[in-house]
Structure 1
Amino acid sequence: MRFYRRLHPFHAISFDLDDTLYSNQPIMVATDKKMVAYLNKSLSDYGINSQLYSFDFSFWTPFRQQVIAQSPELQHDVGLLREKTYYLGALSLGLTSVEADIFAATALVYFIEQRSNFILPQQTHDFLTFLKGKMPLVAISNGNVDTQKIGIAKYFTEHFHASIANKLKPDRDMFDKTCAALQICPEQLLHVGDCGKNDVFGAINAGCQTVWLNPYKVGKPLKVLPTLALDNIEQLAKILT
């Protein structure tokens, strides 16, 4: 545990999810492999010869870029951006608009199911239960993991995920909405996350206190110093007692 700023009293804790509460990278690698197989099978059902294409990132990236160029606001909603990407890609393969709509919607459902197909260790559940007994907890995520499916929704008083309505971190939007929902001042929120840009810089820019927790070493480096840095989530208990 390393302190970089004075820690003031706080009345709620917010958490980033991916790569903060669990290692997301191996989950996404496995999901990407499953998606290629799923997309091959699904599109072959529409009469597309999947042997002519490789439905990995190289196929979908140009359509993703096209969606962003047409609707820049979709950068804030990774799920909707993915769905629209699938839609344009399907149209390019000759599917009708109706077929492409159905294909894209079902592909997104499958993606979220697979990227949420993991089990958190009991230790994590026990610690979140402990924290919930101390003060309100909030999830603030740029991703789209299904918190119900992975069993952590019950710990959070509020859950904000980036969307058209909620701008991606490091924008202060979701931090401001968290404070408004809990009726607290920004300084009374302690945000925990792995990314030096999205979590630490974003929270400090919103006037919140921050914990840099980067156990899986994938978050972007610090742009500004956090309030404190932890080596593991359990160290939070030391500042609550």
Structure 2
Amino acid sequence: MLDLTRIKGISLDLDDTLWPVLPTIERAEKVLHGWLVERAPMSAALFSSPQALQEIRDHMKANRPELKHDLSAIRRESIRLALYRAGENPLLADEAFEVFFAERQRVTLFDDARPALEFLSARFPLACISNGNADVGRVGLGSFFRASISAREFGIGKPDPRIFHAAAGALDLNVEQVLHVGDDATLDALGALNAGMQAAWVNRSEQLWPHQAEPHVTLASLDELCALFR
């Protein structure tokens, strides 16, 4: 059971907790493809081939393991590799990635996200913890968070306990004083439990809990989270 008296700060996941990520990525990929069609059509054709795209992903995984926590670098270098293989200018990769990245930050929040952040940030210091490459400042939510911890910058991703410990430290709190809120049963909820935090699992789609250890609370929405503190 959730112990509200212990909670002095809250950490939150971003993708699929505050906004649905798949539509965002799909739209960003379409914008990138349109840009490539105009400036690097052979590379655009290469990215249109599922087999070629999978081969590029496999190549990156095998040959650039140091980038595994940096989705931005993986995306940028995948574009660079496609440009090279297509016989086009690899130097276009940085500009192409920025086209993708700018669109990736144009998220559509869940209806409960901004009201929840307004409510929670008025009561607790907030941190975000993400394995993805969303930038809360560019998304427009930076003012709600005291700290932003990303796997890309930290070098370690969820569910490793160390990234949760880093978030607690950024809030000047002990891990047992922090409630972590996220949608992923393994990366967020179980990761937080193993790190010594209380865990709130945001289960918007009525999924089954897959682990033996259970979260302290399961929520269908962020509205339900806020209701706990009213």
How high is the TM-score relative to the length of structure 1?
0.84
1:173-204 residue CA offsets vs partner (Å, 9 max, x unmatched): 32111122222111111000000111011111
Distance 2:208 2:152 in 1: 21
Where does the alignment leave 5 or more consecutive residues of structure 2 unmatched? Answer: none
Q: CA deviation at 1:240?
A: 1.9
| Corresponding residue of 1:194 | 183
Secondary structure of 1:210 counterpart: strand
In the alignment, does 2:113 pair up with 1:120?
Answer: no
Task: Give the aligned residue type for 1:202.
Answer: G
Give me the CA root mean square deviation: 2.4
| Separation in 2, partners of 1:220, 1:89 | 39
| 1:239 alignment partner in structure 2 | 228
Query: Which residue of structure 1 lines up, in the alignment, with residue 77 of structure 2?
Result: 84
Q: Evaluate the alpha carbon distance shift between residue 75 and residue 121 of structure 1 in structure 2; reply closer, same or farther with a 3 A threshold.
A: closer
CA contact (8 A) 1:112 1:146 kept: no
**Residue 157 of structure 1: CA displacement?**
0.2
Aligned partners of 1:120 and 1:150 also within 8 Å? no
Tell me the matched-pair count: 229
Give structure 1 regions of 4+ aligned residues with deviation exceeding 4 angstroms: 5-8
**Map of 1:93-132 to 2, 5 A cutoff?**
93-95=86-88, 99-100=89-90, 102-120=91-109, 124-132=113-121
Secondary structure of the corresponding residue to residue 18 of structure 1? coil
Q: Counterpart of 1:59?
A: 52
Instruction: Give the match for residue 227 of structure 1.
Output: 216
Unaligned runs of 5+ in 1: none
More helix by share: 2
State the shift of 1:71 in Å. 2.3
Per-residue Cα deviation, 1:155-177 (whole angstroms, up to 9, x for no partner): 00000111163312111232111
Indicate the percent of aligned positions where both proteins have the same amino acid.
29
Q: Distance in 2 between matches of 1:161 and 1:183?
A: 18
Change (3 A) 1:14 1:56: farther
Identify which of 7, 26, 31 aligns with 1:34.
31
